[in-house]
């Protein structure tokens, strides 16, 4: 029997571990949760903290996803989060939605008719591993608060940005006049350093762009680290991308006339937020989360 015949008859039993690992690291969470039951060694590999961290760091480099929560499911005691198809796979305005998460957890015991996404940008509502929110109370100015995971207390963010109307701690808007609404996107380059707030861009929503109707709600979903595309949630019915160079709407990624959608950007991860401090030590997440 020739060498070649032998090779053709023998199955490829040996698949180098690093190639297999690289393939797994490129899979979405849903696939990984399924493939955990391929074998004991896969189960333990996928459950390791290192795998989760590496996957998250790799995922953040590759894509940011957009999705929405549809509140009506809550009546049935289920919270469903849908995602748009992978970004860039099509320019279709009608997104195909696939369930990425299903849960009937606490909602059974605490009936509610609404689930909300408080604000998300570049897929992370966590800034340096800490959840941050914008609050509004009476006549007070908007504030950024955060939840200290170590002390388990809410604290006020000590470096508020130099503008008035906050929408998320990450990207903020202001300034309207009769014909044009400007979207200003601000970022804080160095976390906690007040002076490092800079205006990243100023995008006009011209009257010609009024396909979105009266602008009641505009929220940034992703801000580019490099590149020209800013993705914005408009009126909770549209996800549109802007080109920051041409200052025009590039693409409407999603449109829906349903009421009660909550749109957000997110990243899929196997990492629990409680592990974030360890993640920073590993140095990988700091890299991935540096911008925000």
Q: Which segment (15-23, 185-193, 241-249, 284-292) binds another protein by CB under 8 A?
A: 15-23
Decide whether 25 or 215 has the Cβ nearer to another protein: 25
* Residue 99 is a binding residue for another protein (CB under 8 A): yes
Q: Contact between 15 and another protein (CB under 8 A)?
A: yes
Please identify which residue in 61, 96, 102, 156 interacts with another protein, judged by CB under 8 A: 102
Mask 47-66, x = binds another protein (CB under 8 A)? --------------------
CA distance 202 to 153: 35
Smallest distance, Å, CB 213 to another protein? 33
- Asked if 236 contacts 215 with a C-beta cutoff of 8 angstroms, the reply is no
35 binds another protein (CB under 8 A): yes
- In sequence order, which residues have a C-beta less than 8 Å from that of residue 133 and are 6 or more positions away? 118, 119, 144, 145, 146, 169
Piece of the chain touching another protein by CB under 8 A; list 16-24, 123-131, 149-157, 231-239: 16-24
* Percentages of the chain per state (helix, strand, coil), in multiples of 5: 25, 30, 45
Residue 148 dihedral angles phi and psi, to the nearest 5°? -75, 110
Q: Which two tokens stand for residue 53?
A: 């961290």
Phi, psi of 77 (to 5 degrees): 75, 20
Q: Which two tokens stand for residue 245?
A: 């160079």
State which of residues 1, 4, 158, 257 lies at the interface with another protein (CB under 8 A). 4
Choosing from 38, 105, 106, 198, the residue that interacts with another protein (CB under 8 A) is 38
Sheet architecture: strand order including 79-83: 98-103, 79-83, 65-70, 261-266
Under rule CB under 8 A, residue 7 binds another protein: yes
Give yes or no for a contact between 187 and 171, defined as CB atoms under 8 angstroms apart: yes
Q: Site size for another protein, by CB under 8 A?
A: 34
Q: Which stretch binds another protein (CB under 8 A): 17-25, 133-141, 172-180, 191-199?
A: 17-25
Query: 9, 11, 140, 153: which one contacts another protein (CB under 8 A)?
Result: 11
Asked if residue 148 lies in contact with residue 130, where contact means CB atoms within 8 angstroms, the answer is yes
Residue numbers at the binding site for another protein (CB under 8 A): 2-4, 7, 11-13, 15-16, 19-20, 22-24, 26-28, 30-31, 33-43, 98-99, 101-102
């Amino acid at each position: 029997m020739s060498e070649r015949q032998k090779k053709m008859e023998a199955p490829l039993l040996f698949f180098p571990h690093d190639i297999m690992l690289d393939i797994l690291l490129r899979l979405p969470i849903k696939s990984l949760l399924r493939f955990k039951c391929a074998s004991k060694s896969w189960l333990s590999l996928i459950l390791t903290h290192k795998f989760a961290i590496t996957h998250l760091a790799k995922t953040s480099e590759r894509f940011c996803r957009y999705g929405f929560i549809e509140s009506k499911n809550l009546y049935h005691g289920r919270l469903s989060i849908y995602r748009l198809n992978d970004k860039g796979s099509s320019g279709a305005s009608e997104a195909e939605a696939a369930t990425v998460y299903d849960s009937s957890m606490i909602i059974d015991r605490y009936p509610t008719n609404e689930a909300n996404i408080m604000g998300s940008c570049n897929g992370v509502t966590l800034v340096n591993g800490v959840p941050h929110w914008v609050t509004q109370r009476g006549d007070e100015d908007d504030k950024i608060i955060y939840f200290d995971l170590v002390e388990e207390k809410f604290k006020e963010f000590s470096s508020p940005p130099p503008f008035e109307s906050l929408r998320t701690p990450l990207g903020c808007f202001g300034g309207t006049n009769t014909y044009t609404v400007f979207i200003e996107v601000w970022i804080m380059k160095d976390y906690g350093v007040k002076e490092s707030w800079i205006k990243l861009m100023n995008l006009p929503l011209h009257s010609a762009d009024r396909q979105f109707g009266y602008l009641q709600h505009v929220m940034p979903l992703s801000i580019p680290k490099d590149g020209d595309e800013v993705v914005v949630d408009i009126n909770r019915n549209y996800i549109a991308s802007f080109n920051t160079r041409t200052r025009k709407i590039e693409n409407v990624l999603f449109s829906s006339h349903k009421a009660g959608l909550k749109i957000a950007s997110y990243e899929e991860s196997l990492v629990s937020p409680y592990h974030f401090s360890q993640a920073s030590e590993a140095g990988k997440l700091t890299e991935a989360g540096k911008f925000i």
